[in-house]
Every structure is written in structure tokens, then in C-alpha cells.
Amino acid sequence: MVDAYSNLSDVRVGNFPWCLKGCKIHATVRRHLIPLFKAVIIEGEVYTLSAFSVVDAYGLCRPTRHPCRLFFHSTTILEKMVCRAIKMNGLSLVDIGQINSHSCDSNYLVDFMGVMTGISSQNEFLKDGQRVKMIVVEISDHRGFCHVVLFGEIVDYLVQMMTTLDGGLPVVVIQFAKIRFFRGRVLLQNIQNLTRMLFNPPVDESVLLGRRLSKMRGGPAMTVPLIGPPVKPSVVDDFLRLYPKKTIAELKSTSDDGPFIVSGVVDGLVIGEDWWYPSCRCSKRLIINAGYYYCRGCSKHVFEFVPRFRVKIHVTDGIDDAMFVLSDDDVRYLTRTKCSIQLSSSKVLEGINPPSALMKIEGLKLLFKIVMVSSLNPIYKGAFKVSRVCLDPDIFNAFSLKGTRHTPAKVYRPVMSEVVYPSGLIEEINQHGEYLSNKRLAGSFDNTLGEEIADHHKRSRDC
């Protein structure tokens, strides 16, 4: 089924008692009818409709708050007409104060506008074996600020638009964004192939915001600052250029903190160790408290958990051996499977043996990025925490060469954002996420902005 969201305020739905002047309604064209209406429905045009169905509205991504929804049929008739009273942009703007007032996820998509006061580095994550681009932007208005997690094709559009700006903080309109509640704070995320992002659009509200940019600290010439941690290094940089390499024996004897690169062969799983653990949606490991799962990160009991891999393996480099601990991301990368899928087996639930999918790891020759931290979680006692693994044969061959491509000999002192890279938000929004800085940027609006916008709307009504 394909949802027709474009300019739904242009649809006249007849003289029904729930039909309010100026409201919007969700209309759907089913998949088999797309060829019939694809060339007929043009965004920005006004139509009268007849011969359609009306049902109760439903769904996890609802673009309007109208209680009803329209369904097109093969007999539905559209007639083009002219009506200047209908807004062509179809926006129903809410302010960021209303967005931040939510205390749970919302099924209703929102339109909002503000000034872009922060942007993160572009990052990538794996989903179903494919690399997906992801970026986070901070949007501010007179009521506050919020973070918007963008992933997929809209990231390319954002990067392209940022290169065309003349400078200053752009006014941004985001249409059809989903509200998510995570770790006690509100985030917004885009919906693939639906959410829109407009830069400095020619609408009255955007013009007003543009006039008020001089009220922001830093002035109108201020460039959009970076938020969040630095971008995750590429695989080549991670394993060949940034960190010193060590043998397993050297790894055991070092007292230095920081990432190190180790080459080795997996010669088996550690027998008798748990290969998965229950976690909260915030990615924190759950503990048993009063007979129930308890999350220390969320400070509450949790009645649904997310299973994640944590696999202990034996690794040897031909001279010495050690125990390494693979995280959920690494195991999924190596086995191309999810922990929840492996737990669906009844034999696995009875704890007879680890699933056969984990046996694919045995015999693999890998590069390991090992994180050495003096205050590391005691769960890793006697074992080394793996931050990243590499299977690429070209990188593996270059790793053993000397010269300019040889890894540096000195110890690299990483920032903590490299040592601990949280992944809870990725799971929380369907593996679309990123660590967000809690630091609010300096740019904030003068309180009189809201009054000026209200006065503008009042003058418009009076006219």
C-alpha cells in the first residue's frame, strides 16, 4: 500500500459532519491502483473527489490528526479545479515546545520549523547487510531546541543543500517527522521516502524567522556548529593508520590504555559462557531485581527486553592466545544474523548449545580493534573487549607490510567517545540512531520572537 500524503488539505471530502473547513485528511492509493492514479494526481493541484471510501484512521505513522481516512478505488473520480482558499504548502506547523512536551512515542507525524543550530558528523551503520548513512541536526525556535535523526537518502539531500548555502544559520522546515521518546528526552526521526526538509522556504513564518536571526548569539553570519562525537573512522584508518598494532603477548603485558590492533585466528568459542544477554531498549544490560528485569540506565523495571549477542572467543596469533569478547554489532557483522532470530530456536532456549550460526566465526582470520581501559567493566575481566573487527583481505595484507602503510608505533590516546560508542539509539529507532550530545548550543532565540509571530498572525487575520 502506498500512502498519498501530498497536499492532503486539497481534498474535498463532501458534506460529512466530521469535515472541518481547512483541515487535512489522510488518503491512500493501494499498490495495485498506483499506475491508474500516478499520472492523474499532481502535487500542488486542487481536485474535487467522488466515489471513494471513508474509514477510521489508523497506523503508526499518521500524517494528520483527522479521525478518518480516505481510500481510492478504481472508480474514484478526480476533477481539477481552482481554489485560492486552500494553502498550497499543506503545512500544519507546531512549535518545538509542543514537541518536547511529549513523554512517549507519538503515532502522529508533525511539521515544524526552526533555525538549524547544530549538525553532527555524517556516520554509517549496518542494517540488513547494507550501509545506511545517518546524521543528526539540532533545530531551535523561541520555545527551545530538539534533535532530529536523519538517515537514508535525505542525508545526501541535506549534505548537498549545506554546500549551496551562502552562510549563516538556515531556516529549516521539516514536514512529516516522527516523535520518539528515548532515555527521558524527545527526539525526532525521518520516515524514509516521506519526510521532507526545506531550506529557507518562501513562507511567511520562515521570513519572520529569518528576520530574527540577528537576535541569536553569534549573529547572522554564524556557521552551523558541529554537535556530538567525531565521525567514526573508516575501516582503513581504523586498522592501518590510527592505532599501534600489537601481538597478543604484547597486549597482555601492556599497561597503556587506548585502542590497539591485533591480528589473529578464531580457534573456537569459550565453552560454558553465555553467548547473549537481555538488554533494555536503551542498550543497558538488564539485571534481576525483585524477580523482574531492572534497567539501571532508565532506573525502572522492564518487562520487555532486547536480546543481544556477547560472545567470548579464543583467538591465537600462532605464538600466544587470549580470550576476546565480541559485541552484538560485531557478531551480527560476522554471522549476518540477529540475536533474536537465533533465540527463536527451542533448543537454543533450553541452553543445549550455542546456535550453529555462531560456529561460522570459528576459523576466521580477523583484525581486531581492542580497547584497553583501566576502568573497564568487570564483565570483561580476563578477556579483551573488541571494539571493531575487519574481514577485508586487502586491509589484512596491508597490515603485515612495513613502510608508510605500517601502523604507528606510539600509543594513541583516544577520547572517551571512541572508547565507549553507545548503540542503544540505533536499536530504539529500528537501527537508525546515533549518540547525541546533551550539550545545548549557545544559539537561542530572544523571547520576543513568539510575540512577533503571534502579532503577525493576528494582523493577517484582521486583514
Each residue's pLDDT tens digit, 318-328: 899 999 999 98
Mean pLDDT of 394-401: 84
Mean pLDDT of 64-85: 88
Mean pLDDT of 91-109: 87
CB 290 within 8 A of CB 300: no
- What share of the chain in percent tops pLDDT 70? 73
Q: Which helix (H) or strand (E) holds 157?
A: helix 153-164
Confidence at residue 431, expressed as pLDDT on a 0 to 100 scale: 34
Pairing of β 110-120 and β 93-94: parallel
Quote the DSSP letter at residue 436. Answer: -
Cα–Cα distance, 304 to 313 (Å, whole number): 28
pTM: 0.55
Confidence at residue 20, expressed as pLDDT on a 0 to 100 scale: 45
Instruction: Catalogue the E-assigned strands of 65-122.
Output: 68-71, 77-81, 93-94, 110-120
Cα–Cα distance, 292 to 307 (Å, whole number): 16
Residue 264 grid coordinates: 589473529
Mean pLDDT of 29-55: 89
Under the banding of pLDDT at 50, 70 and 90, the label for residue 432 is: very low
Confidence at residue 423, expressed as pLDDT on a 0 to 100 scale: 41
Confidence at residue 324, expressed as pLDDT on a 0 to 100 scale: 94
Distances (CA, A) of 462 to 89, 92, 451: 22, 20, 16
**Residue pLDDT, tens place only, 159-196:** 888 888 776 788 899 999 999 887 778 889 999 888 99
Mean pLDDT of 20-34: 82
Under the banding of pLDDT at 50, 70 and 90, the label for residue 364 is: very high
Per mean pLDDT, which range of 61-70, 164-173, 245-254, 255-264 is the poorest? Answer: 164-173
| Of 157 and 297, the one with more pLDDT | 157
Confidence at residue 368, expressed as pLDDT on a 0 to 100 scale: 94
Mean pLDDT of 4-18: 40
Find which of 260-264, 347-351, 445-449 is predicted with most confidence, using mean pLDDT.
260-264
Closest C-alpha to 120, from 139, 138, 133, 146? 138
Mean pLDDT of 117-134: 78
Under the banding of pLDDT at 50, 70 and 90, the label for residue 14 is: very low
Closest C-alpha to 206, from 238, 170, 233? 170
Contacts of 329 (CB under 8 A, 6+ apart): 126, 423
